[in-house]
Structure 1
């Protein structure tokens, strides 16, 4: 979902043309990936959280239907990443009222509950149509899904979580992310479904950018 779409409903983006199916995943397809067309190369490198290897960052928003659809594709892809690639998620808030969703993620992270609960949040919003946009309603939902209500609220309101939301904004701004889901590669590049042509192809581009990062 593009940044501009957050001002007026949930209209879907329309991606560019993808490569022919018989090229997908081949060396020919990767050779066709171009900066400015399939991915963005940053003028100024952004900080990474690891000094070694390659870092991949998923920028996402719980309220984004494309992020919800991307989740199973991304999960399968992450499981196959090489040992030298570190993956992490960064929740994005293009509007102030979406900061609550950033704090949901970072509170779950602080409690060690991302693995069991992250996908349930997406499911609750996009399948069950629950409005997880008010702290008490969110805490009640967490309690119903096995997360201690008091501990969740403590984490949600903590200085550490508030600090991480500010850092997330700084990183998304540094990458100049204009929509989600998007993948930042090693602080140097980013791609997305709207840039690459499809969510599936964005993962192929990310593979290319991981290999490119190793050579620099």
Structure 2
């Protein structure tokens, strides 16, 4: 049997402890601390969720927002890797009356079953092709250029259901205290965004953290 002297055992113990501390520091460096009040905030009044036993994620956005367009690739990648217990939906925000046509555009496309396919195209048109899409005619002309029947779209765009949803979205943004976009709200109470977290990558990390927290708290 090979034995070590007491002094050698002490040296090895110190070395092992140093190595453990080193790995711990590396781990902390790779996983920055996420703190309430810095990386996310909690709504003073929690809002109801649509599905029980699910992690509800809402993105409040505006088609014309350059930051929303910039965040879209990271957000889309995050959505694609979520399990079935995560629900995601977008809510358009109209901070001014002249932005309401964009909210109606969103809900009209959704009502026609074309929202998922067209949302990215709308943002590309506005941010890369300099399309303003601020009036009904501008919107209808652009939609028609995408192969959608103009009259069918306009009938949907002007419908009571679509106008009501656009107005409800504005009221919802007020209830959630949305003062900027893009803003992510999880489980009706946790709020984060690239501007709150500091970067797009940190915002995604915060969303992962909150997702696990919500599950741990049994979807509360």
| Equivalences for residues 22-61 of structure 1 within 5 A | 28-29=31-32, 32-61=33-62
Name the residue aligned to 2:196. 195
Taking the aligned partners of 1:95 and 1:22, their CA distance within structure 2 comes to: 45
Taking the aligned partners of 2:193 and 2:98, their CA distance within structure 1 comes to: 23
Structure 1 pair 35–140 and aligned structure 2 pair: CA distance change class (3 A): same
Taking the aligned partners of 1:177 and 1:37, their CA distance within structure 2 comes to: 17
What's the offset of the Cα at 1:81?
0.8
Structure 1 pair 22–152 and aligned structure 2 pair: CA distance change class (3 A): farther
TM superposition outliers: structure 1 runs of 4+ over 3 Å = 21-24
| Equivalences for residues 146-165 of structure 1 within 5 A | 146-165=147-166
| Equivalences for residues 1-216 of structure 1 within 5 A | 28-29=31-32, 32-216=33-217
Q: Which secondary structure does the structure 2 equivalent of 1:102 belong to? A: helix
Taking the aligned partners of 1:146 and 1:117, their CA distance within structure 2 comes to: 11
Which blocks of at least 5 consecutive residues in structure 1 are unaligned? 1-20
Question: Contact 1:58–1:88 (CA<8 Å) still a contact in 2?
Answer: yes
Structure 1 pair 145–190 and aligned structure 2 pair: CA distance change class (3 A): same
Question: Contact 1:175–1:190 (CA<8 Å) still a contact in 2?
Answer: no
Q: Which secondary structure does the structure 1 equivalent of 2:195 belong to? A: helix
Decide which structure has greater helix share.
2
* TM-score scaled by length of structure 2: 0.83
What's the offset of the Cα at 1:23?
5.6
Taking the aligned partners of 2:132 and 2:49, their CA distance within structure 1 comes to: 33
Which blocks of at least 5 consecutive residues in structure 2 are unaligned? 1-25
What's the offset of the Cα at 1:52?
2.7
**Larger Rg, first or second structure (1 or 2):** 2
* TM-score scaled by length of structure 1: 0.84
Taking the aligned partners of 2:34 and 2:175, their CA distance within structure 1 comes to: 23
Question: Contact 1:64–1:180 (CA<8 Å) still a contact in 2?
Answer: yes
Residues 91-143 of structure 1 show CA distances to partners (whole Å, capped at 9, x for unaligned) of 01111111111111000000000122111111111100012001011101101
